[in-house]
């Protein structure tokens, strides 16, 4: 795809985004900030990341009954779980809009948007960056040690960061009564398998990118060390 074409698509999606609620737009900008940082570390195209991020939540603020209606009108397959929890439709609706009205043909971008709520097995690097950036953007991780550590971890191991986020989410769902979704938990089991087979590790494709990853290592190690020293003092 030409640079001109993707820039046209970005401009069109930006226009759509500007009509969404301010709070949602602010969330998207925060996700973008994280995603640009991770795209640099993992050598992913900045423009493709931008398209995925600015498109991912275009239907997030739509009322649940409207989401079902839009999905029916668009002829999308609505699983039972989606009817019970229509917010799960906001990714598929956004991907459909980008494909049909904006002319996006980049499958990785479309699938990443469609599946960003729960994630999916054997995700592309671009999808992993979208999912983790969405879950740990700066406001979500404020005063949250676990999400802060997960964000730092993403600079050196995106798969482990996703697994840690999934486990954090499981605990949060049990503690706070957040709804669990079956699709997310099925995917989580697949991520564990992928992790043990070591087949889904993103590849760092240049020495410069490797250097950036290596430099970020202490950011993850330090909080763990300080926790250990606290344990020793208590003993
Ligand atoms: Fe979303
Ligand atoms: Fe989001």
In this structure, what CATH number is given to the domain that contains residue 84? 1.10.3210.10
Query: What's the domain count of the chain?
Result: 1
> Residue 103, by phi and psi: left (phi above 0), alpha (psi -120 to 50) or beta?
left
Closest ligand (CA of 133):
2
User: Tens of pLDDT along 101-151?
Assistant: 999 999 999 999 999 999 998 899 999 999 999 999 999 999 899 999 999
Residue 67 CA, ligand 1 centroid: distance in Å: 13
Q: 2: CA distance to ligand 2 center in Å?
A: 27
60 pLDDT higher than 50: yes
Report the separation in Å between the CA atom of 86 and the middle of ligand 1, taken as the mean of its atom positions. Answer: 12
Instruction: Report the chain's mean pLDDT, rounded to a whole number.
Output: 86
Q: In the structure, what pLDDT confidence band is assigned to residue 189 with cuts at 50, 70 and 90?
A: confident
Centre of ligand 1 from the C-alpha of residue 119, in Å: 11
**CA–CA gap between residue 141 and residue 212 (Å, rounded):** 22
What separation in Å is there between the alpha carbon of 89 and the centre of ligand 2?
13
Ligand 2 centroid, distance to 57 Cα (angstroms): 5
Rounded distance from Cα 162 to ligand 1 centre (Å): 16
Judge residue 101's burial from the number of C-beta atoms within 10 Å of its C-beta, 0-12 exposed, 13-18 middle, 19 or more buried: exposed
Give the contacts of 210 (CB within 8 A, at least 6 positions apart).
204
The pLDDT confidence band at residue 228, using thresholds 50, 70 and 90, is: very low
Residue 197, classified by CB atoms within 10 Å of its CB into exposed (0-12), middle (13-18) or buried (19+), is exposed
Task: Kindly give the distance from the C-alpha atom of residue 134 to the centroid of ligand 2, in angstroms, as a whole number.
Answer: 5
pLDDT band with cut points at 50, 70 and 90 for residue 182: confident
- Domain enclosing residue 47, as ranges: 3-234
Does 44 score more than 70 pLDDT? yes
């Amino acid at each position: 795809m030409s640079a001109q074409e993707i820039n046209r698509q970005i401009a069109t999606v930006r226009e759509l985004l500007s009509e969404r609620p301010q709070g949602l737009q602010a969330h998207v900008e925060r996700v973008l900030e994280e995603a640009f940082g991770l795209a640099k570390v993992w050598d992913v195209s900045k423009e493709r990341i931008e398209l995925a991020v600015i498109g991912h939540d275009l239907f997030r603020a739509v009322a649940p009954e409207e989401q079902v209606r839009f999905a029916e009108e668009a002829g999308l397959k609505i699983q039972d779980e989606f009817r019970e929890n229509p917010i799960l439709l906001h990714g598929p609706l956004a991907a459909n809009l980008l494909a049909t009205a904006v002319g996006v043909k980049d499958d990785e971008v479309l699938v990443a948007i469609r599946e960003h709520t729960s994630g999916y097995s054997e995700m592309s690097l671009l999808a992993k960056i979208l999912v983790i950036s969405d879950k740990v953007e700066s406001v979500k991780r404020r005063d949250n040690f676990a999400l802060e550590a997960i964000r730092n971890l993403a600079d050196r191991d995106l798969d482990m960061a996703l697994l840690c986020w999934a486990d954090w989410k499981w605990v949060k769902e049990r503690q706070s009564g957040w709804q669990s979704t079956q699709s997310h938990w099925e995917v989580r089991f697949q991520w564990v398998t992928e992790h043990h087979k070591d087949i889904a590790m993103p590849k760092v494709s240049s020495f410069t990118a490797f250097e950036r990853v290596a430099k970020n290592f202490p950011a993850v190690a330090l909080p763990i060390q300080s926790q250990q020293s606290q344990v020793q003092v208590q003993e």
